[in-house]
Amino acid sequence: MMRKALALVTVCTLLAAGSGTASAAPTGARDVIVQLFEWNWKSVGRECGAFLGPRGYGAVQVSPPQEHVVLPGQGYPWWQDYQPVSYKIDNTRRGTRADFAAMVNSCHAAGVKVYVDSVVNHMTGGSSGGAGSAGSTYTHYDYPGLFQTQDFHHCGRNGNDDIVNYGDRYEVQNCELVDLADLATGSDYVRGRIAAYLNDLLSIGVDGFRLDASKHMPAADIAAIKARLSRPAYVYQEVIYGAGEPVTPDEYVGNGDVLEFRYGKDLAKIFNTERLAYLKTFASPLASDRAVVFTDNHDTQRGSGVLTFRDNGRYAMANAFMLAWTYGTPKVMSSYEYSSNDQGPPAASDGRTTDTICFSNGWRCEHEWRVIANMVAFHNITRGTAVTEWWDNGNDAIAFGRGDKGYLVLNDEGSALTGRSFHTNLAPGRYCDVFHGDYTSGNCTGPVYTVDSAGWFRADIAAQDGLALHAAAKVG
């Protein structure tokens, strides 16, 4: 159905912030993950105490902490961090080992777990070599004291060992991803070195790992590495689904959770070109308790087909739905502005990432947008309850409850939704609309709605806007 030119939206005015084994899902009462993409360690630690913990985020995903290549001639692109030179956790663009350890401690003190973006499929690209961020020298297949030529796959295909045919399992898991030296993860020695790196992180106190490029490692290899971990850790794996491809996300669920890339594209399609009414049965093929879901991440926002911070109000509504819905473990993105897809984070002249001050110097901090941050509390209070009282207008206005704990209304129509009353299972009382206000100690900075003894309340919802009530934001 053709519709929905991107318009100025009411919600845009609301985006500013308010004041050895792997578990099947994050444990504890709070499971929402936030990806603080490219933040330095001091800023992550500060954010855990100042915002993430108080606002109910369960974990933070931090960028790769190992020594990486340094590419001043290319403007210190973000992806240099995804080319390991060694497994030293020291002197990266984000800080020192001491800074990293202090960050972990600060986050734990705030009740926030730390998940590390772990690059263990490959090392660097290119043949020239050089010195890494901590001073280690390297060439494409020689990392002194760590890996040499025999520790890598050399698939002998396509003239340069690169993956060309994603329909060929052997190529996907034995050739090189864009020229990155592909580790032979079937080797006992290689597995031991990778496990030693992950165990070093565990010794510092990290709680889990996002395994980068998992699709390019056989699931059995990951299982063998995971078996060497010194203690249990939450694991979620990057396995991008491709139609007709032989390597599929469901192969990896025995190791832990899997990032569900189909979710963000399907959600964007419904918001941009279809009808919100279709969300009534929204899910993806992976089992809910094995899927980590997201509207966008650092890769997909630089592609196409997903909603990003540039979609403003519609992006906020999509995240609100994700956090209110019952499918998957939600992961919220937090970005910086960029004019080219390669552009690194705000940095000093030497490429070191500058401290993050949200909503300045290019830091977008979507996780602090009022709608998104307040829906984290909605998610936490409604977790484990069923969807109830679904309503839609057959097009782009929907509403639903989560048991007797919460109620969400989304209106993506081009005009206001007026003259309606909504039925909920919420207890009678006055509730803060956390879409438009912040709730603190019985008070609300925004609109308040009264649910009567029969569960009804009346509300008018502006175009491209919403409303959210929950049991932990009861006024008075």
Positions annotated as catalytic residues are 212, 238
Residue 193 three-state SS: helix
Cα–Cα distance, 240 to 214 (Å, whole number):
9
Cα–Cα distance, 470 to 474 (Å, whole number):
7
Who contacts 83 (Cβ-Cβ below 8 Å, separation ≥6)? 68, 69, 119, 122, 123, 124, 125, 180
**Helices 188-204/97-109 angle, 10° precision:** 60
* Alpha-carbon separation of residue 265 from 241, 295, 308, 472 (angstroms): 11, 8, 11, 32
Q: Which of 246, 266, 243, 242 is nearest to 327 (CA)?
A: 266
Please give the span between the terminal C-alpha atoms of the chain, in angstroms, as a whole number: 45
Two structure tokens written together for 42: 């001091």
201-222 b/e (C-beta count within 10 Å ≥ 16 → b): bbebebbbbbbbbbbbbbbebb
Q: Point out which residues pair with 35 in neighbouring strands.
A: 61, 333
